[in-house]
Copies of this chain bind each other. A is one copy, B any other.
Amino acid sequence: MTETEDRKSRAAAWFAQLRETICAAFEDLEDANAGPGTPGPAGRFARTPWRRPSEAGAPAGGGGVMSVMRGRVFEKVGVNISTVHGEFSPQFRKEVPGAEDDPRFWASGISLVAHPRSPHVPAVHMNTRYIVTAKSWFGGGADLTPMVPVAEDSAHFHAALKAACDRHHPDYHPRFKKWCDEYFHLKHRDEPRGIGGIFFDNLDTGDWAADFAFTRDVGGAFLDAYVPLVRRRMAETWTEAERAHQLQRRGRYVEFNLLYDRGTRFGLMTGGNVEAILMSLPPAVAWP
């Protein structure tokens, strides 16, 4: 096995392993919740594999697995893993590092979006990925979208991500936190999507093992950052007014994902799996 193939294989295996860890942790939250307003039994993830169709004139392949849970804590949460390869269409070659001369790519990653039932439990997004063209790099991040920000919850979330970043490079947290704030911004409303977190892309320091270790740490830190917030808030009661506010704030999430999110727009415009890509959209939304 070449070094490149070994790296691909190790990255893809890690994303699949992280999926197992996260799904188990989220099912534990479903079991643990005995709070009000949470009808029905504890949710369980259902998995649906999909294959990437070949496009005319372009070799394509791979696929992924969607894991979706509709439970009593999580009104809807999706965890996608995918490992795909193919060729970028001419329009995208100029936009992707290392693809201008050779359009072939390989990409593997995990992507998660959780929409909790309670307006007191923040929505969250996490993604890590490894891309190989003539170059190769890691990317990812995690960001929190509380319906009404609570200072201690925000502080906990940022601290957990900072701890993971600080273990790797003192510049990472300030750089990736700023990048996150810039990325998850609704320009048309001049509003942040949530309270941010971290966002990184094109990470290739020349030390593959270190970059991979950092990316793994972000995945682990995500659970440290988020799960305690869910446990802290999931049993609280909420009002109809808070629910209405939550449905309206979720509209902002939809606006961001369809107007700006690069992964969403790129995926939809390049024949990606629609159900997997739009799994991120909230189960119930209002533009009152």
A134 on the interface (CB 8 Å rule)?
A: no
A182 on the interface (CB 8 Å rule)?
A: no
Do A254 and B258 touch (CB < 8 A)?
Answer: yes
Report the minimal beta-carbon distance from A133 to chain B, rounded to whole angstroms.
Answer: 24
A188 on the interface (CB 8 Å rule)?
A: yes
Given the known A-B contacts A258-B258, A268-B259, A274-B189, are A284 and B286 also in contact in the complex, defined by CB atoms under 8 Å?
yes
Apart from A187-B268, A258-B258: 12 A-B pairs, beta carbons within 8 A: A187-B269, A189-B274, A247-B284, A251-B281, A255-B258, A278-B287, A281-B287, A282-B287, A283-B286, A284-B285, A284-B286, A285-B287
Of residues 26 to 69 in A, which have CB atoms within 8 Å of B's CB atoms? none
Do B274 and A188 touch (CB < 8 A)?
Answer: yes
* Interface size band for A: 20 to 34
* List of B residues within 8 angstroms of A206 by Cβ: none
Q: Interface of chain A, helix or strand or loop or mixed?
A: mixed
Report the minimal beta-carbon distance from A138 to chain B, rounded to whole angstroms.
Answer: 27
A118 vs B282: C-alpha distance when bound (angstroms): 22
* List of B residues within 8 angstroms of A268 by Cβ: 187-188, 259
* List of B residues within 8 angstroms of A258 by Cβ: 254-255, 258-259
A240 vs B70: C-alpha distance when bound (angstroms): 19
A168 on the interface (CB 8 Å rule)?
A: no
A259 vs B257: C-alpha distance when bound (angstroms): 9
Do B255 and A259 touch (CB < 8 A)?
Answer: no
Given the known A-B contacts A258-B259, A259-B258, are A286 and B285 also in contact in the complex, defined by CB atoms under 8 Å?
yes
> A265 — nearest CB in chain B belongs to which residue?
B259
Do A283 and B278 touch (CB < 8 A)?
Answer: no
A112 vs B254: C-alpha distance when bound (angstroms): 22
> A258 — nearest CB in chain B belongs to which residue?
B258
* List of B residues within 8 angstroms of A170 by Cβ: none
* List of B residues within 8 angstroms of A285 by Cβ: 254, 284-287
A90 on the interface (CB 8 Å rule)?
A: no
A282 vs B76: C-alpha distance when bound (angstroms): 20
What 6 A-B pairs have minimum CB-CB distances, sorted nearest first? A258-B258, A281-B287, A188-B268, A285-B285, A284-B286, A258-B259
Query: Quick one: CB contact mask for A245-277 with B, threshold 8 Å, 1 for yes?
Result: 001000100110011000001001100001000
Report the minimal beta-carbon distance from A121 to chain B, rounded to whole angstroms.
Answer: 19
A187 vs B268: C-alpha distance when bound (angstroms): 8
Report the minimal beta-carbon distance from A282 to chain B, rounded to whole angstroms.
Answer: 6
Query: Quick one: CB contact mask for A145-172 with B, threshold 8 Å, 1 for yes?
Result: 0000000000000000000000000000
